[in-house]
A and B are shown apart, each in its own frame.
Chain A
Amino acid sequence: MAGDLKKKSIFAKLGGQKFIVLLVVIVLFTFFSIASQDFRKYTTVLNIFDFSYYIVLMAIGVTFPLITGGVDLSIGTGLICYSLAGGYLVVHLGWPTGLGLLVSVLFGILIGFANGVLIAVMGLPPFLATLCTCMITRGLGSICSKGFGISWPTTGAPGSWFRSIFKMQIGGTKIPIGFIWILIIVAIMAFVLNHTKIGRYTIAIGSNKEAAVLSGINVKFYHIMAYVISGFFAGLASIAYAAVFPTVQPGTGAGFELEAIGGAIIGGVSATGGAGSIEGTLIGVFVICLLKTGLPFVGLQANWQQIITGLVLIAAVLVDIIKKRREAK
């Protein structure tokens, strides 16, 4: 009996949905490379990486609330809000860059904590609570910067060292070291998810909250932690955003969270909670980023990208649902 259970299909061994999605990424990349000669360039890869950092970071963070069976919709407008707040201090009040970045991250953690309290302690439905903080951060961002767009110090200007966190120029070539950081962060967070209490209890809450309570786990604390992680990563993402783009505009950011959540779900995070992986999320986000960067190369206007992203998301969830229905039989 015990022996039977060890027999997993080759498919499952390779990582299940993650594996398919990885194939999708490869297929997409190959397709774009064949379809457009301009796509096959080192600079394109650089671009894909550059534009993916903030989404990947948000997605890694939001994976935790998603696994608890919740969601965090406040990360998109939150990212802009944190970046505006930190940037305002640096640009207009002359704070050192490092301190500004720290404020961005702390702001993220604070909002994440607020989300956690609203959901875990006060019992609000996650998407509604975070919808409210989404509105609130959108307003706060504009107020922080007095409504003005903020240009963090540009490359070369004093205090612009943070821009080279994600991209270093060695000789004439630019090295996307940000991707190395991302890989390290993915490794760390995968470890956190699979081998630490925080991760273990995040899964337990999403899979069977009642059982977690009865096992004597401080469910409220770990539930809050899931949102704090999400907020923390939104804070990190705000740094990545500021480092890649010249200007942060208030009133934007709505929609970023959808790319992050979409990426996580495409990467195999169960839409109903309990299951998911950080590696999967990373791969899932790359599906979205590839589409976003690649479609203009094959002559499709930007608007098609939105339609295709929407359809891909539905397809990913349907595959999951159909698979589950088959298994149930």
Chain B
Amino acid sequence: MDKIKQNPIVKKLGFNRIVLVFVILLMYTLFCVATGGNFAGLPRILSALNYAYFLGFLSLGVTFVIATGGIDFSIGPVMFCAALISGYSLTSLGVPMGLALLISVFVGFCFGLFNGYLVAYWSVPPFIVSMASMNIAKGVASVFTKTQSVSWPQLAAGGWFRQLVKIGNFPVGLVIFVLVAIVCALLLNKTKPGRYILCLGSNREAVRLSGVNTKKWEMLAYVICGVLVGIAAIFFVGAYTTVQPGYGDQYNNEAIAGCVMGGTSMAGGLASISGTVIGVFIIALLQEGILALGFTKDYQLIITGIIVIVAVYADVVARRRKN
């Protein structure tokens, strides 16, 4: 085992990630066998991808927050809030499509700023900020839309934004998602903000005492998260058309699960964008597979819960061994 891990190619790619990719392939094969071959084929994959897009952007966003050692479980409701406010502006206030998309990102940005400011500058514990902004996001969305759901237009009815998700059967969304993931990976690993975010997640005080304005960078992590949540909103409505006020919490858990499964440590400081991407694909595949096997969503919730527990426990054990 150690020998394999020392192999330079394996080292470069990351052993865990290779294992995770194998898990995906294994799962896919299992589903195909269990459904008698019915699972193979483009439609299933496209359907799984629909789920992977918005979840993926949520996961990428929350990866930055978890990297600082924080947590954000307002992302689901904020995503819905962004989709509702921008969608309402589009369908009821006559705002042009392009601007509506920007509004969505802007709403995400605002919540990111709000969360980040309270966490970084006022040291309010992240989970409390999350709880509060989750309520606020739901409330603001329903006040703004007068408690109505919002349906974004179909492609034929001027909904060109749907081409961001797919053109014909070509998954444009996948291309965009991978590109954004690459930008995130560069941002996290190759730039100053990313370096500071990771370092302060590992040891906030040490970074602060090195003369770094940790508050600014910590807040930035939440802002990046917010922007990605705003983008997630676009891909959510691109795939599922309608959002309803008052909801969205169900996606928090899955987004955080994807991130944690990919090897991002809940203790902060260690984060892997590629891991998150793979983690998200595992969850999307799982949900598609569970449906294909004829089970309800409930089983997916339970299995995801157990997988996260196992993944985090593995992380805890690994850290214990190191210290």
Taking Cβ atoms with an 8 Å cutoff, the residues of A that contact B are: 71, 118, 122-125, 127-129, 131-136, 138-140, 142-143, 147, 254-255, 258, 261-262, 265, 271-272, 301-311, 313-314, 317-318, 321
A278 vs chain B, min Cβ distance (A): 20
The docked-state distance in angstroms from the alpha carbon of A143 to that of B299 is 8
* B306–A132 touching, CB < 8 Å: yes
Binds A, one of B4-12, B16-24, B33-41, B134-142: B134-142
Q: B128 to chain A: which residues have CB within 8 Å? A: 265, 271, 313-314, 317
The docked-state distance in angstroms from the alpha carbon of A118 to that of B312 is 10
* B138–A306 touching, CB < 8 Å: yes
* B296–A147 touching, CB < 8 Å: yes
Which residue of A has the minimal Cβ distance to B315? A124
* B122–A124 touching, CB < 8 Å: no
Q: Verify if B118 is at the interface (C-beta below 8 Å from A).
A: yes
Q: A265 to chain B: which residues have CB within 8 Å? A: 128
* A310–B298 touching, CB < 8 Å: no
* B302–A139 touching, CB < 8 Å: yes
Q: Which of chain B's residues 8-67 have a Cβ closer than 8 Å to chain A?
A: none
* B139–A305 touching, CB < 8 Å: yes
* A271–B305 touching, CB < 8 Å: no
Given A122-B313, A124-B313, A307-B135, 9 more pairs with CB closer than 8 A? A127-B127, A128-B312, A129-B312, A255-B249, A271-B128, A301-B147, A310-B133, A310-B134, A321-B124
Q: B271 to chain A: which residues have CB within 8 Å? A: none
* B298–A143 touching, CB < 8 Å: yes
B319 vs chain A, min Cβ distance (A): 9
A255 vs chain B, min Cβ distance (A): 7
| Residue of B147, B260, B298, B306 with highest tally of chain A CB at under 10 A | B298
Given contacts A122-B313, A139-B301, A310-B132, contact A303 B245 (CB under 8 A): yes
Q: Which of chain B's residues 109-136 have a Cβ closer than 8 Å to chain A?
A: 118, 122-125, 127-129, 131-136
Taking Cβ atoms with an 8 Å cutoff, the residues of B that contact A are: 71, 73, 118, 122-125, 127-129, 131-136, 138-143, 147, 245-246, 249-250, 252-253, 256, 260, 266-267, 296-302, 304-306, 308-309, 312-313, 316, 320
Given contacts A142-B298, A314-B129, contact A303 B147 (CB under 8 A): yes
Given contacts A307-B143, A311-B136, A313-B132, contact A271 B125 (CB under 8 A): yes
Majority SS at the chain B contact face: helix
17 A-B residue contacts at CB 8 Å? A118-B313, A123-B313, A123-B320, A128-B256, A132-B308, A142-B297, A254-B249, A258-B134, A262-B131, A306-B136, A306-B138, A306-B139, A307-B136, A310-B131, A313-B135, A314-B118, A318-B122
The docked-state distance in angstroms from the alpha carbon of A296 to that of B250 is 27
The docked-state distance in angstroms from the alpha carbon of A303 to that of B135 is 9
| Residue of B136, B139, B297, B304 with highest tally of chain A CB at under 10 A | B139
Majority SS at the chain A contact face: helix
The docked-state distance in angstroms from the alpha carbon of A307 to that of B253 is 22
The docked-state distance in angstroms from the alpha carbon of A134 to that of B73 is 13
The docked-state distance in angstroms from the alpha carbon of A11 to that of B138 is 36
* A123–B316 touching, CB < 8 Å: yes
* B139–A134 touching, CB < 8 Å: no
* A135–B301 touching, CB < 8 Å: yes
Partner of B131, one of A118, A261, A302: A261
* A311–B132 touching, CB < 8 Å: yes
Which residue of A has the minimal Cβ distance to B138? A306
The docked-state distance in angstroms from the alpha carbon of A143 to that of B256 is 24
* B135–A124 touching, CB < 8 Å: no
Q: A140 to chain B: which residues have CB within 8 Å? A: 298, 302
* B132–A131 touching, CB < 8 Å: no
* B132–A314 touching, CB < 8 Å: yes
Which residue of A has the minimal Cβ distance to B125? A271
A75 vs chain B, min Cβ distance (A): 13
| Residue of A261, A304, A307 with highest tally of chain B CB at under 10 A | A307
The docked-state distance in angstroms from the alpha carbon of A221 to that of B215 is 38
Which residue of A has the minimal Cβ distance to B135? A310
The docked-state distance in angstroms from the alpha carbon of A125 to that of B266 is 8
The docked-state distance in angstroms from the alpha carbon of A302 to that of B147 is 9
The docked-state distance in angstroms from the alpha carbon of A147 to that of B125 is 36
| Residue of B124, B128, B135 with highest tally of chain A CB at under 10 A | B135
Q: B136 to chain A: which residues have CB within 8 Å? A: 306-307, 310-311
Q: B316 to chain A: which residues have CB within 8 Å? A: 122-124
Q: B266 to chain A: which residues have CB within 8 Å? A: 125, 128
A90 vs chain B, min Cβ distance (A): 21
Partner of B250, one of A124, A254, A304, A318: A254
* A272–B249 touching, CB < 8 Å: no
Partner of A136, one of B129, B142, B250, B306: B306
Given contacts A124-B309, A125-B266, A262-B131, contact A139 B260 (CB under 8 A): no
Q: A318 to chain B: which residues have CB within 8 Å? A: 122, 124
Q: A258 to chain B: which residues have CB within 8 Å? A: 131, 134-135
Q: B131 to chain A: which residues have CB within 8 Å? A: 258, 261-262, 310, 313
Which residue of B has the minimal Cβ distance to A133? B305
Which residue of B has the minimal Cβ distance to A300? B143
Which residue of B has the minimal Cβ distance to A132? B305
A163 vs chain B, min Cβ distance (A): 28
Partner of B139, one of A123, A271, A272, A303: A303
Q: B300 to chain A: which residues have CB within 8 Å? A: 139
B187 vs chain A, min Cβ distance (A): 25
Which residue of A has the minimal Cβ distance to B319? A123
Q: B296 to chain A: which residues have CB within 8 Å? A: 142-143, 147
B278 vs chain A, min Cβ distance (A): 19
